[in-house]
Amino acid sequence: MQVQNAVSAVAVWRLNNTLLDMWTEFALSEFRIETFVSTNSLTERSCVCWMTELAKIDSRLSVCFTAVVILQVAYRSQRYGLSDDLVDILVTLCGQFICRRRYSQWLK
């Protein structure tokens, strides 16, 4: 009975620590995305690359990236005006959602 209790306690401890480790890594990933987007110039091509690679890890990271980029575009357009590059980035980001929705309608 003591061995069973000990094994159960270890299993619960590992599960709790695994969840904490995953949450910590996810929070760090969000911070890294925010830092990268705010300090580097993005292109349509780099946005597609980022979204594709992040979606392979976790779709929520791709959504986080999209949200951060949209906020960055809003900030830069307010500060410097809406440039063709910023519009291209928005079209790329929004196109990902529009195309998926359009294709899913055709499949019905």
Considering the entire predicted model, what is its pTM? 0.71
88, with CB counted inside 10 A (0-12, 13-18, 19+), is middle
The per-residue pLDDT for 104 is 46
Nearest-angstrom CA–CA distance, 29 and 58: 11
The per-residue pLDDT for 30 is 92
Q: Kindly give the confidence (pLDDT) of every residue in the chain, 108 residues in length, as a single tens digit, with 9 standing for 90 and above.
A: 778 878 788 788 777 777 778 888 889 999 999 999 999 989 889 998 998 999 998 888 999 999 999 999 999 999 999 888 998 899 888 876 555 544 444 444
The per-residue pLDDT for 103 is 45
The per-residue pLDDT for 106 is 45
The per-residue pLDDT for 99 is 52
The per-residue pLDDT for 8 is 84
